[in-house]
Chains A and B, each alone.
Chain A
Amino acid sequence: MNLIDKNRPFNFKFDGKALQGFEGDTLASALLRNKIQLVGRSFKYHRPRGIMGAGSEESNALMEIHNQGVIEPNRRANMIKLFDGLDVRSQNRMPSLNFDVMAINDFLSPFLAAGFYYKTFMWPRAFWEKLYEPLIRNAAGLGRLSTNPDPDRYDKGFLHCDTLIIGAGPSGLMSALIAGRSGARVIIADEDFEMGGRLLSDPQEIDGASGYEWVSSTLAELHSMPNVRLMPRTSVFGNYDHGIYGALEVKTDEINAQGNIKGARQVLWRIYSQNTILAAGATERPIAFANNDRPGIMLASAMRTYETRYDIDFGKYAILSNNSSTDKNRSDQTIDTRADIWIADTSGRKGLKSVTLNSGEKIATNWLGMSGGWNPNVHLTCHKRGRPKWDDVNACFCPDPNTLPDAMQVIGAANGEFTTHAAFKGAKKACANLGHKSGKSPKADDAPYEVGAFWHVKGKKRAWVDFQNDVTSKDIILAHQEGFSSVEHVKRYTTLGMATDQGRTSNVVGLAVLAEARGDSIPDTGTTIFRPPYTPVSIGAFAGPHGGQHFKPIRKTPSHKFAEENGAAFVETGYWKRASWFAKPGEQGWRDSVDREAFNTRRSVGICDVTTLGKIDVQGADAGKFLNKVYANTFSTLKVGRCRYGLMLREDGMAMDDGTCARFSDTHYVMTTTTANAVTVFRHLEFVRQCLFPNMDIHLISTTEQWAQYAVAGPNSRKLLQKIVDPEFDISNEEFAYMGCQKITVCGGTRARIFRLSFSGELAFEIAVPTRYGDTLVRKLMEAGEEFDVDMYGTEALGVMRIEKGHAAGNELNGTTTALNLGLGGFVAKKKDCIGKVLSQREGLIGDDVLRMVGFTAINPNDTITNGAHFIKMGDPKDAAHDQGYMTSIAYSPELGHFIGIGFLKGGDKRKGEELMAVDFVRNNHIKVKVVSSHFIDPDGERLRA
């Protein structure tokens, strides 16, 4: 019984050659059907290689899938479900698979033994980067990655279940059946596109019928259960904390007529399971003998799979085995090491021609199956650093019940129970442990598995242990000779087990060779542990849909549409897109726009969307007390209808954030934070509320997005707003003084809030309406401002004006500056405690010499001041020892007609008038600057109180 549908042929290409396969084929089986033996080259020696396995353990048959200039490298031929139009090419060869010049390495192999590169290439020094390394790099690597973006789509998702069953062989299917019948929510996943596991490959009977019939009827029943989810082509690749598993579901590799993959190519699932049954089966091992890597030599079980499931006719072939599992092979000649015969050597560079036995007998054959016994697939039991234990009888590592992840049971071959009968028994028991009763198990094969511990054939020639990475038994012995005897040292020194199969076929053989060299037993020598993922997972799948523009959300302000319509350039501020300036026709560059916006605002009026500042509603009987704790200055005394600037410290005394806080009633404050810190401040406030002062009556809720808020700044701002604000509200200087706040209505009854705040230093207001009105309000404001030549201004002009005023912002509140550094020492209230007060008084933070924020102007007014320059005293050497501070913010002031800067200078508060060098190597701009007050414009604040 095979699973090939010869009525559905597929055309595909291998290295440009047109070939045909069928529905049901993998690429590997299709290549074998086309009698192709040579399919790849090894990593180091570029040895010719053929297909070695029939599943994900493959280490030789790695291919590139090509599609319209995009390459997916290193695909295992056995894991590609054949489809029409597949274009696949061999890799790591130059110029061709058949003639690979890099194969010269194979002849130089005596000099390329384990670790050779640590001992040479040291002279001359400069040659490493220039010559040796490029040579090594070009020779190494496997497939190519095209430099084109990956065009495919990926999804991610979350699944919840009572029982996750990993593997759909006899033990997994039986478990699903029992658990499913009892009503549990079951997920059963298998990396193969056909469920059934070994039952699809080994000819055997279950309850008198063929194993395949049992699989079909079981699958049919499982499909009928709504509580069972069958997930073929799904590799459960990792076990994480608390029952979380990572799984990759391959939806399709198929490319449609448009040259695309429809829908998501792969889905990365995070599976939350209450219980897990690991039924992942076992992987056959090779045997290390001289030249055991010829194309045509493969695992015996793989040959059986290709014959049975894929209907491949190998003709005559031989089997080398140390165990009873190969009894199922239909070979013409079995070489059983248990009878003291083995293979001494082989011939046939690009395809096996013959094998020579230890007796000297030479057997002509093109195909050889080898079986060195079986390794249970214990990988997922190790991901949380569980260690398997050695089973002497079965000569393999089995899961150790004492180190299993929580709520995981291991059954069947994965648990070292290799018969179908034992698989069923294991399933029954595992399900019973979960409270699922079951009837009698079907009758199945129970012939015991017997294995002789035969690992490698000693000799002078190379015998491969890790096929892909070209690690031979001699390499392992040499590593031991050089003192690399710990198994971890051997792995790192020889690269054993580091290939794309993560040592699935090589680790145990390698360990056995090492144990023999050390004269220890295998369990005393070490163990194999595995890290996720079980099989490699596309980075694209881990990224899911979050590439390109979808990397992070985009937050748009209420005036976004209006800004787009008016020439705005946007800047990323966290996830927000803020308008940085609004280009008008005729302007030559961003500076033109920014200068105009700043200048116009100071001359007449400008409008800026400040919605992105965090807004937090603070309500409660203890609101004042609470704010006194979180702000350095006092808020309990703030009068209703007033605002106050607030400086917030971290507990270590550094400035955390600043903003204003308005009081609307005895129990109601509205705090604003900087855009960048809105989230962290909220989190901090919740910490203070819940963890430090749990008995205060305080309630916090973010209203950042609830209110669209615009700054209206400039000498004409009041006049403009008077046209918008409903007449019953008085915003004259007398009735609504600087730092006032009130609830008002605008435009005929629309609810609003107005704050008399100024970041620009001009007469200014901030007006807020529910966001639903945000788009219309900005249009109304601009309409109302037409007579004043109102301008929108962006973050750049905002920055210019705040620097002109010497306000600290993000560049200064950089997490390493104290209130004192910022010139805000006076804000830390003397009488009360606040968060950060105690530690802000440490000796290193309060000396005369600490950094102080000051202003700078260029001595030559035509010089450009640059950000990030360091200050050096005139005449001092330009080195770290003489560094006096650094420039944090700079701007061209259209009002002053030259550049200005603010920065931190040691003891700067007492150094006004001093001349310094502002040293900027990376822009090659060293200029002379003078220390000045950071209040460049209207230092007495007359304008904002107007």
Chain B
Amino acid sequence: MRYSALKVLKEGLTGHKGWKPAWRKPDPKAAYDIIIVGGGGHGLAAAYYLAKKFDQKRIAVLEKGWIGGGNVGRNTTIVRSNYMLHENEGFYEFALKLWEKQEQDLNYNTMVSQRGILNLAHTDPQRHAFARRGNSMILNGADAVLLDTAGVRKICPFLNFDDARFPIRGGLWQKRGGTVRHDAVAWGYARAADMRGVDIIENCEVTGFDIKDGVCSGVQTSRGPIKAKKIGVSVAGSSSRVMAMAGMRLPIETHVLQAFVSEGLKPTIPGVVTYGAGHFYVSQSDKGGLVFGGDLDGYNSYAQRGNLPVVEDVCEGGVSLIPMIGKARLLRMWGGLMDMSMDGSPIIDKTHIDGLYFNGGWCYGGFKATPASGFAFAQLLATDVSHDTAKAYRMDRFSKGLMIDEKGQGGQPNLH
């Protein structure tokens, strides 16, 4: 069924009787060509691209709970490609280009809204690092503008220019950055994949891998064993738990990142603003809530919830940057599980076990990567060749000394 304004009109006049489920609820088959473990944004996107771009058939996505219940439905919805290192920038720019075509591609309005992202600089060294970064972005075909204070003021006149502990000295502006309606991404990919024959199987938890002589030939699940030629694991915060079933230890720690939304407000904040001196970033959703966040809580956690010190830290940053938001109220806070890698960059690679592939280590940057991650993982699964923009995301880069460390924090995940 194609979605369109006309269809909405017609259904509106006839009592909405014609709408069909957005995706089927099939039972698992005994065998597939390719199984994706994890019905989050990345897994669903990979399934979609496998079917659409790589002509694969007999694909299933296995999801422990309900699709989109992990980080794709818990993030702060930001998309951008403003990285410093080429290994990342090329990939995220590929993602951004896919976002730009997503709605037409999926026939689903995921509300990709390119209202811009502004990173603020408060010292000269920060501005210089932004220059290096902006130049990297442009070298990779992205857009970037280095702003001075006046340029920042033009975009965000409400920032604290007069009484700031850390004065605003400029910023890096990516106009093509913005936000996307996060849940809709999962639903849009699910619906589009389902239309191309992918079985999306919810409430199906993988409990083990069938590995013999270094070859993985299937999975054990809460709904019975399922055979597959290739299995791709894309489970974000649960990466270590799932891969432990294949006997692997990963360069990943799972951490909690909190996010916050305020009560609805009339439009106030134009795009995404990131505070370089505090731990705070904010955008405003189409419904009017200020969606904001900051740093990780900082300790390993699978609890999907955080604690007060970070809430306070984030709000302190927020009020010091945007004094007017003191009068807005925080409505809801929640936590997501971040698969924090040892250099802050992801892994999309084969494992040493034949037929078992891994996609993870997205840290808190997974949402914006969704289309490219799905695409690159699909290509790897279908062809055994890494996508050009994801070649550096190798598992062995730590033993080779080829880390991709944007922040220069080294092997301490909570600092990335």
Contacts and interface: CB of A to CB of B under 8 A. Distances in A.
Q: Do A and B bind each other?
A: yes
Contacts of B268: 144-145, 147
Contacts of B32: none
Nearest to B146: A922
A810 interface: yes
A111 B316 CA distance: 42
A815 B409 contact: yes
Given A145-B268, A539-B330, A546 B136 contact: no
A872 B184 CA distance: 42
A488 B69 contact: yes
A141 B267 contact: yes
A120 B3 contact: yes
A424 to B, nearest CB: 33
B408 A922 contact: no
B290 to A, nearest CB: 8
B22 A483 contact: yes
A148 B324 contact: yes
B160 A533 contact: no
A652 B410 contact: yes
Nearest to A867: B128
Nearest to A156: B312
B244 interface: no
Given A547-B326, A879-B139, A502 B8 contact: no
B408 A814 contact: yes
Given A495-B287, A571-B123, A548 B400 contact: no
A333 B391 CA distance: 74
B157 A147 contact: yes
A43 interface: yes
Nearest to B5: A120
Given A495-B287, A868-B128, A880 B90 contact: yes
A241 interface: yes
B370 interface: no
Interface string B237-275: 000000000000000000000000011111110000000
A439 B20 CA distance: 63
A846 to B, nearest CB: 8
Interface stretch (A71-79, A304-312, A626-634, A725-733): A71-79
Contacts of A550: 165, 320
Contact of A536 (B3, B125, B288, B330): B330
Contact of A551 (B320, B326, B397): B320
B59 interface: no
Nearest to A72: B327
Contacts of A493: 183, 187
Given A122-B104, A814-B408, A920-B131, A129 B109 contact: no
Contacts of B211: none
A548 B22 contact: no
Given A118-B188, A122-B109, A549-B163, A870 B328 contact: no
B223 interface: no
Interface string A120-138: 1111010011000110111
Interface in B199-220: 202
Interface in B312-346: 312, 314-320, 323-334
Interface string A642-682: 00000000111110000000000000000000000000000
B354 interface: no
Interface in B10-49: 11-13, 16, 19-23, 25
Contacts of B167: 572
B113 interface: yes
A133 B68 CA distance: 24
A538 B16 contact: no
A531 B3 CA distance: 34
B316 A145 contact: no
Contacts of A486: 66, 202
Q: Which of B133, B288, B305, B399 has the most CB of A within 10 A?
A: B288
A483 B21 contact: yes
A844 interface: yes
Contacts of A922: 130-131, 134-135, 138, 144-146, 172
B174 to A, nearest CB: 11
Contacts of B183: 492-493
B150 interface: no
Contact of A500 (B90, B303, B331): B331
B86 interface: yes
Contacts of A495: 287
B22 A484 contact: yes
Given A119-B7, A867-B131, A542 B312 contact: yes
B329 A538 contact: yes
Contacts of A540: 315, 319, 325-327
A549 B163 CA distance: 6
A551 B166 contact: yes
A270 interface: yes
Given A814-B408, A844-B401, A492 B132 contact: no
B286 A548 contact: no
A543 B134 contact: no
Contacts of B311: 246, 542
Contacts of B103: 122, 125, 128
Interface residues of B, number: 120
Contacts of A897: none
B328 A547 contact: no
A876 to B, nearest CB: 11
B375 to A, nearest CB: 19
Nearest to A150: B326
Given A548-B165, A551-B278, A654-B410, A536 B305 contact: no
Contact of A572 (B123, B262, B325): B123
A868 B131 contact: yes
A159 B317 CA distance: 24
A295 interface: no
B295 interface: no
Interface in B72-90: 73, 86, 89-90
Contact of B125 (A133, A546, A810, A839): A810
Interface in A125-171: 125, 128-129, 133-134, 136-138, 140-150, 152, 154, 156
Contacts of A868: 128-135
B135 A815 contact: no
A530 B166 CA distance: 36
A526 to B, nearest CB: 10
A538 B327 contact: yes
A919 interface: yes
Contact of B323 (A149, A572, A880): A149
B110 to A, nearest CB: 8
B225 interface: no
B385 interface: no
Contacts of A121: 5, 109
Contacts of B129: 868
B304 interface: yes
Contacts of A748: none
Given A154-B326, A922-B146, A74 B318 contact: no
Contacts of A458: none
A441 interface: no
The 7 closest A-B pairs by CB, nearest first: A815-B408, A868-B131, A141-B288, A540-B326, A842-B401, A150-B326, A483-B21
Given A142-B264, A150-B323, A500-B263, 11 more contacts: A71-B327, A133-B286, A144-B265, A147-B157, A482-B19, A495-B287, A868-B128, A868-B129, A870-B135, A880-B139, A921-B144
13 contacts: A74-B264, A120-B8, A129-B115, A145-B268, A385-B305, A483-B25, A542-B314, A543-B320, A546-B319, A816-B403, A880-B86, A889-B128, A919-B139
Interface of A: 43, 70-74, 92, 110-111, 113, 116-123, 125, 128-129, 133-134, 136-138, 140-150, 152, 154, 156, 238, 240-241, 244, 246, 268, 270, 383-385, 474, 478, 481-484, 486, 488-489, 492-493, 495, 500, 502, 531-533, 536-540, 542-544, 546-552, 554, 571-573, 650-654, 810-811, 814-816, 839, 842-846, 866-870, 878-880, 883, 886-889, 919-923
